[in-house]
Amino acid sequence: MEKQNVAPATGKLGVLCVGLGAVTSTFMVGTLMARKGLSKPIGSLTQMDKIRVGKGADKKYMSYGEIVPLTSLNDIVFGAWDIFPDNAYEAAIHADVLKERDINPVRQELETIKPMKAAFDQNFVKRLYGPNVKEASTRWELMEQIREDIRLFKTKNNCERIVVIWAASTEIYLPYNESVHGNLTAFEQAMKTNDTINIAPSMCYAYAALVEGAPFIMGAPNLCLDIPAMWQLAEKQQMPIAGKDFKTGQTMMKTVLAPALKTRMLGLSGWFSTNILGNRDGEVLDDPSNFKTKEVSKLSVIETILDKEEYPDLYSDIYHKVRINYYPPRNDDKEGWDNLDIFGWMGYHMQIKVDFLCKDSILAAPLLLDLVLLSDLAARAERYGIQNWLSFYLKSPMHDFEHQPIHDLFVQYAMLKNAIREMGGYEADQELD
């Protein structure tokens, strides 16, 4: 069938990552290895999954790239900003996620990826200190420097399109401020008057990307895109935005287990979650002000799947607790431990215990690849503003003030497939409850 208003994926796609730490370096190594045929992009739906299109006698299963025009891995050019000057090879070695033997085949390419100076404010990430930092008198000037970085990278690398993705640390909890965040005019004025309380560094990246015609993806639980000012800018620039916080370990399990309880009409009285991790992310989250940002993101998942208004007998009194503990010996090997106190027939209590020993960056890397390719696809399909169909990849899916986010992983998956079908000229035929 004919593709629906989707421009072809011609030329080079510049992928600019905010942060060149464990997640980004793992993403880069894996992508470069996959395009050399030295590794499989396991975990990436755009590279490995197949979708049913058509029904009955017309039914067939096709890969995403067969349905819609995705950018080839061969056409990706990587760049980054980071507060540390290490190139991508040094960053990958330092992160200690991948074995050196799995990094060395693409060492030459990685060594050419040298991070640009980062827009950074110590007040937003108190536990990190790095020398590779921009200097600016206002947030507006900081944003303009990022815009210049994007333009120079695009020209130097002969890129036709750019996508910017945040894979840096979680910023401190920033409450929504209507007078600053409520509309684009007020937001721009706050940047120009250097409101360093209400304008986070991540917002400078998002604004710069959108004005430069690049989709922006927020991979941390920062406020950043979750404000009307950014929604208005995305609409004005006709660019897609998506966020927030990559859905990797524990939250992925929650979006699977909670729907299972609901499907079986089993009750839930308590859900206790704890994490231990020792990478840079863990160090940042060891600060209470940064942890609060993550906590708010994690806590919202269960309550939206297990609706206490709809099922008061089952979910009206859930005690939900989340803990994150910095434990350096684990490095990137994160452990998510969950205890669920459930109840069933005649109110009798039972327990479910889950111990998920995962590698955070190994789970996150394919999400970055898919989000980059799919947000670029959205831009070429003229789908702009909040991309609800990308919720599958995100812990705290973006939504405006009029809608509730959808957290059920299986409903999110159906939304994703429907969007791909539509852009491929097929019927979006999966019903969503």
The DSSP secondary structure of 269-335, one letter per residue, reads EEEEEEEEE-SHHHHHHTSHHHHHHHHHHHHHHHHHHS-TTT-HHHHTT-EEEEEEEE-GGGTTEEE
Superfamily of domain 12-246+362-423: NAD(P)-binding Rossmann-like Domain (3.40.50.720)
pTM for this prediction: 0.93
- In the block, tokens 């999400």 appear at 367
**DSSP secondary structure, 144-183, as one string:** HHHHHHHHHHHHHTTEEEEEEEE-SPPPPP----HHHHSS
pLDDT of residue 1: 42
Pairing type for strands 385-386 and 349-359 reads unpaired
- In the block, tokens 């497939």 appear at 417
CA distance 68 to 424: 5
pLDDT of residue 296: 67
Domains 12-246+362-423 and 250-359 share a fold: no
pLDDT of residue 297: 59
CA distance 216 to 163: 6
Identify the band that residue 285 occupies on the pLDDT scale cut at 50, 70 and 90. low
State what percent of residues in the chain have pLDDT above 90. Answer: 83
Burial class (CB in 10 A: 0-12, 13-18, 19+), 320: middle
Short-list 14, 1, 28, CA closest to 366:
28
Q: What ranges do the domains of the chain cover? A: 12-246+362-423, 250-359
Superfamily of domain 250-359: Dihydrodipicolinate Reductase; domain 2 (3.30.360.10)
Question: What average pLDDT score do residues 278-303 get?
Answer: 69
CA distance 172 to 281: 13
Q: What Rg do the C-alpha atoms of the chain give, in angstroms?
A: 21
pLDDT of residue 347: 97
User: What digits encode the pLDDT tens for the residues 151-197?
Assistant: 999 999 999 999 999 999 999 999 999 999 999 999 999 999 999 99
CA-to-CA separations, 92 to 133, 249, 361, 365, in angstroms, rounded: 20, 21, 11, 13
User: What digits encode the pLDDT tens for the residues 232-283?
Assistant: 999 999 999 999 999 988 889 999 999 999 999 999 999 999 999 887 776 6
Pairing type for strands 216-218 and 50-53 reads unpaired
